[in-house]
Structure 1
């Protein structure tokens, strides 16, 4: 008997995203846990299990310390919580730069152990051949150009890119090379607005901006930044909520109720049944 269910929701595919070039903008947010994935799934085309999880959830100073095991753990959680969105999982630092075979082994492990439909890599002069190698072997790849968080140690910090002609040329070249290698979409992070528009016009696959341009084919934000869970957020983030304040207020009220013995009250307590 077939295990197929007629009411199964069809997930967005990498091909669906590619075909959105120049059409309705693509909505993408990061997700790291099952409950958040479940909430976001209805509203997003893409859920990105970003290696930003290292900073957002685990308190690391950057993404360099993120491991394959961490990405698998959070990827599994997001897959459990979502039904519709395309789930893309970041390949962490060191998991794809050491050779085609190593990259393939790590990408297949990510996809097999999480069920995610695609992986994302940060592009550079040596990465396009890796993208091509993976795509030729059936792995959908999203590329990432501009500000590359995994290169933060080499760059000396997080800084906007594309402010001079040579840097603009290199980033545009990386985007074009990513498309030529078979990437189904390209994330553009932290670049001058005009460069983001130029890249979007220059390549035939969708661009997804973060600190880039409203002219990109879609947008992505780190969900915790968008929800206002941190005191500081980057310039390119728009806060759509202030959950940090709401959580603090809730914790304060809880602490007051506990100290005053108002919690738990009759509604939150189990009582033994009276003997008949």
Structure 2
């Protein structure tokens, strides 16, 4: 049964929903880069819930239902344990909470690497369950044939090169990539392979800046930087990192607010009022008529 339905504003705690806007499309995202340049960078953030999607939607071109939810939502040590079912549930929620942005869902580790046929099975199931517009997968030249296979069968694909978190066990950690000549050449070559295979955009993560710029200049589709360069065709961050929900974040994250501090101070006030019996007060209780 499909979960692609909109929020019932009569009963949802997320009421009121924003006025519907015409949703952006994958071709419009792809066409954002013309003649090798992007006039205005694309804005992308992660989203995992319907309410979060509502708050981000009007300001973003792309909402990424990232497998980073494994760490952000579930407290897992990496993205490796994330399942298709997790991605489907959160992807459907984000689609329900958004009207404007293109929603892209990460394909989790193990759901696409074995074969292009396996990748189609997983990706088509994800799109049916969520109503999302596209999927994202990690890997460069090794995934080019899969990207082309999916694209030719109606599934738009966003690529991901450089630091690929699903390969953390092979990489040995989350260090910046592209410091050696061989690795730098591979990153640029990987981006070109994905572009030629039909990827509509490519995330460039954790790459030393000159290589991120070289990859951006080497491809016709937009690049989305994260720990890369302002000269990429767009930027993405994990929303919870950007909002200051965690104490420890990668060095490339700019924390725009201290939401964790706001929550802690608010809960402290609540706890104090409960313990002093100041809450609930007359305004929060029902009295006999």
What's the TM-score, normalizing by structure 2?
0.91
Q: Which runs of 4+ in 1 moved over 2 A?
A: none
Three-state SS of the structure 2 residue aligned to 1:237 is coil
Aligned match of 2:27: 15
Aligned match of 1:244: 260
Aligned match of 2:197: 181
Is 1:78 paired with 2:94?
A: yes
Alignment of 1:6-45 (within 5 A): 9-21=21-33, 22-45=38-61
Structure 2, unaligned runs of 5 or more: 1-18
Match 1:216 to one of 216, 232, 246: 232
Contact 2:158 2:201 in 1 (8 A): yes
Three-state SS of the structure 2 residue aligned to 1:54 is helix
Distance 2:142 2:90 in 1: 28
Distance 1:270 1:115 in 2: 42
Distance 1:150 1:137 in 2: 25
Is 1:159 paired with 2:171?
A: no
Match 1:64 to one of 80, 86, 106: 80
How far apart are 1:10 and its partner, in Å?
1.8
Aligned match of 1:4: none
Contact 2:140 2:159 in 1 (8 A): no
* Corresponding pairs, count: 267
Distance 2:21 2:156 in 1: 20
How far apart are 1:8 and its partner, in Å?
5.3
How far apart are 1:171 and its partner, in Å?
0.7
How far apart are 1:270 and its partner, in Å?
1.3
Match 1:48 to one of 64, 80, 83: 64
Distance 2:52 2:141 in 1: 35
Is 1:104 paired with 2:140?
A: no
How far apart are 1:124 and its partner, in Å?
3.1
Match 2:137 to one of 121, 124, 131: 121
How far apart are 1:272 and its partner, in Å?
2.3
Is 1:194 paired with 2:210?
A: yes
How far apart are 1:123 and its partner, in Å?
1.6
Three-state SS of the structure 2 residue aligned to 1:77 is helix
Match 2:246 to one of 198, 222, 230: 230
Q: Deviations over 1:65-91 (max 9, x none)?
A: 000000001001101110110000000
RMSD: 0.9
How far apart are 1:9 and its partner, in Å?
2.6
What's the TM-score, normalizing by structure 1?
0.95
Aligned match of 1:172: 188
Distance 1:270 1:16 in 2: 53
Distance 1:174 1:137 in 2: 22
Structure 1, unaligned runs of 5 or more: 1-6
Three-state SS of the structure 2 residue aligned to 1:240 is coil
